[in-house]
Chain A
Amino acid sequence: MSSIIKIPFGPQHPALKEPENFMFKVDGEYVVDVTPRIGYAHRGIEKALEDRTYIQDLYLIERICGICSHAHTTCYTQAVEEALKVDVPPRAKYIRTIVTELERIHNHYFWLGIVAHEIGFETLFMYTWRDREIVMDLLELLSGNRVQYAMNMIGGVRRDITPEISSKIMKGVKVLGERMKYYKKICSDDKTILARSVNVGILKTKDAISLCAVGPTLRASNVKRDVRADDPYAAYDEIPFHVVTYDGCDVASRIATRCDEVIESVEIIRYALEHLPTGSIEVIVSRVVPPAEIISRVEAPRGENLHYLRSNGTDKPSRYKVRSPTLANLTALCKMLIGGYIADIPIVIAGIDPCFCCMDRLTFVDINNDETWGWEGEKLRRYGIKWYKKQ
């Protein structure tokens, strides 16, 4: 009995998500402790960044994650620009902002689809993903690629927004905002969705702060923290917007937060397009970066992104550190799971929006007799079922 069997958890496109690995300690029906194990997708990016030039790094940074690639490059280019002491033209800043917000819309739609798929709501998945195509098309129109936009350059952005593109974006985001309002209604009306989300995966405000959660996860626990407002970058200091918070601290609040954020993003994009400054979109910069130490922060769709750069006067960074939001939320995720019921693990994990529901393997340790055994997601689910029946 004391053998650890590792079992694939949850998802069975053994691949759609990246595998992560959690060690659960359970006592009866409750999760007592969770130890995460990540890195199936560990590719050694931080090391590789040190071996490549700043220009090459830009594209590598972009590929840390395919979903919020623009947030990562914005963070990166800001760091390098600060080290170079160059000022980016205002028009470039606005364009960066617009792309960031489009990306946020894309991410939240994507996430809603995944959640729908997770609870077996095939039709909602199809609808959200269909509407997501609108924003994908806008991004393609703007940048030339649907996913890896390559919009950011060190010193500005690569492509300009022509009036014709601008009007198309206006039209597109209007539809997206409307549709999101509809989905929000569905999510707060539909009984099946509510049953799976209300009071599930509680993260109290106090814990959210002490465990350093970020992004919508944090804001759904009623903490008003958003890098865009607190440490404005790009054009955010000139654009009025609300920081969305909810105080439910559960999965339902996380859904609501993200829905509202999309609606907010639509307003930001509208404002930015209407107030787009004129002028150039990039400045020429040197390839060599003087020695400096820079911290750059960006609010990615999933939360605060922090990059740390140390340059040493060559054309390659001496150290580049990336802290992506999923990692920051992992500790908080463990907290949500601890004390929760085993049956609720999957939806809670999906709730923090890891790039897909990454986790793939679970191992349990019973604290009472120190017995270790493995549980597959299904067994786990069955367990949850049994447990719920007792209720």
Chain B
Amino acid sequence: MVQEAIISLLQIVIFPGFLFLILAAFFYEWVDRKFVARLQNRYGPLHTGPRGLLQPFADFLKLLSKEDIIPYAADKLLFSAVPIFLLSLPLTALFCIPIINSTALISFEGDLILVIFITTIIVISVFIGAWSSTNRFSTVGGMRACLQMLGYEIPMTIAMAGPAIVAKTLSISKIVQWQTTGLWFILTQPLGFIIVTICFLAELQKIPFDIPKAETEVVAGWLTEFSGKKLALLRLAEDLELVLAGSIMASLYLGGPAGFSFMPPFVWFIIKLTVCILILSNLRALFARFRIDQLMRGVWKYLTPLALLQIILVELIPW
């Protein structure tokens, strides 16, 4: 009994819990930056730790140790609460993802809904943070984030319903387990995969959907007024979101930790996660930023109909 309790506590705190996830967040920020840099024919972080591996960690530490300015006009409580809130959300969601074996730390029927719900809450928190800092750039950034969310949330949810319908479950772990027996969903629902990828780019506010924090337009968007510790937490939260996005893609479409048994499932998961993140990074380097009206038009004209089409295909064709 005691032994089990200790093990599950260790799982939550260290592996694959908090510590592991945070390290993964740092690691994948590095992967993202490095990969984009290489696509652009440069090195990216290089002199901080081996091959710049410690760069995100250095950024984090530095920001922690910096003066923390709360703007005079800001709503102090909300302004301070938002970073913590934003940090805990993706962490919670990540607990629902099966990483070392096919059952996640938290797994219940309907956790997929929870995860989707969390992605929505994240955007609302962003808006609250933007609004509480009362800076006009922030406000605009927050508004844009909300507007953007209205667009991509719908096709994303529809597309994610695809695997759920086929696996006849609303639990991510069960979807993963279904794939160990059946085909990976990327093969049967490629369209859904593409749609989810695009929507995650928007969720993560990366080019071409970095409209809420387009540097040339709104400084740093909703992040503008945050400094010091809060910024550190927010950046970590962003990295965690990146990991979350990659993990969801890997779990729903690539079969999560499943794989041939010559490597442990965990390694399989990391490989798939990395692939997903590289896909996201590559797209980031490939496009110019859309104008938000173009984004909205695109979502309604293409993404949503395509997502619906995917669902119809799923219903029609019994795999």
Contacts and interface: CB of A to CB of B under 8 A. Distances in A.
Do A's and B's CB atoms come within 8 Å in the complex? yes
A10 B217 contact: yes
Contact of B288 (A116, A126, A379, A387): A116
A127 B296 contact: no
B207 A382 contact: no
A340 interface: no
A195 B208 CA distance: 14
B41 interface: yes
Nearest to B143: A382
A342 to B, nearest CB: 12
B294 A195 contact: yes
B288 A381 contact: no
Contact of A120 (B214, B219, B220): B214
A121 B289 contact: yes
Interface in A360-391: 376-379, 381-382, 384-385, 387-389, 391
B42 A126 contact: yes
Contacts of A382: 140, 143-144
A232 B286 CA distance: 43
Contacts, number: 87
Contacts of B178: none
A3 interface: no
A209 interface: no
A378 B140 contact: yes
Interface string B124-147: 000000000000110011011001
Given A122-B285, A381-B217, A376 B136 contact: yes
A387 to B, nearest CB: 8
Contacts of B293: 343, 384-385, 387-389, 391
B207 A378 contact: no
Interface string A116-130: 111111111011001
B143 A389 contact: no
Given A378-B140, A382-B144, A388-B291, A120 B40 contact: no
Q: How many residues of B sit at the interface, in one of the four size bands?
A: 20 to 34
Contacts of B140: 376, 378-379, 381-382
Quick one: which of A117, A120, A127, A196 has the most chain B CB within 10 A?
A: A120
B304 to A, nearest CB: 16
A378 B286 CA distance: 25
B289 A119 contact: yes
Nearest to A120: B289
A38 interface: no
Quick one: which of A11, A196, A378, A382 has the most chain B CB within 10 A?
A: A378
A7 B294 contact: no
A193 interface: yes
B136 A379 contact: yes
A119 B288 contact: yes
B216 interface: yes
B215 interface: yes
Nearest to A389: B293
A12 B216 contact: yes
A120 B207 contact: yes
Nearest to B137: A378
B203 interface: no
B72 interface: no
Nearest to B224: A12
Interface in A315-363: 343, 346
Interface in A1-53: 7, 10-12
Nearest to A391: B293
14 contacts: A12-B220, A117-B216, A119-B289, A120-B216, A120-B289, A121-B288, A126-B40, A192-B288, A196-B288, A376-B140, A379-B140, A381-B217, A381-B218, A385-B291
Interface of B: 39-42, 136-137, 140-141, 143-144, 147, 207-208, 210, 214-220, 285-294, 296
Interface of A: 7, 10-12, 116-124, 126-127, 130, 190, 192-193, 195-196, 343, 346, 376-379, 381-382, 384-385, 387-389, 391
Given A385-B147, A389-B293, 9 more contacts: A10-B216, A11-B216, A118-B216, A121-B287, A127-B40, A376-B136, A378-B218, A382-B144, A389-B296
In order of increasing CB-CB distance, the 10 nearest A-B pairs are: A120-B289, A388-B293, A378-B140, A121-B288, A12-B219, A192-B288, A126-B40, A378-B218, A385-B292, A119-B288
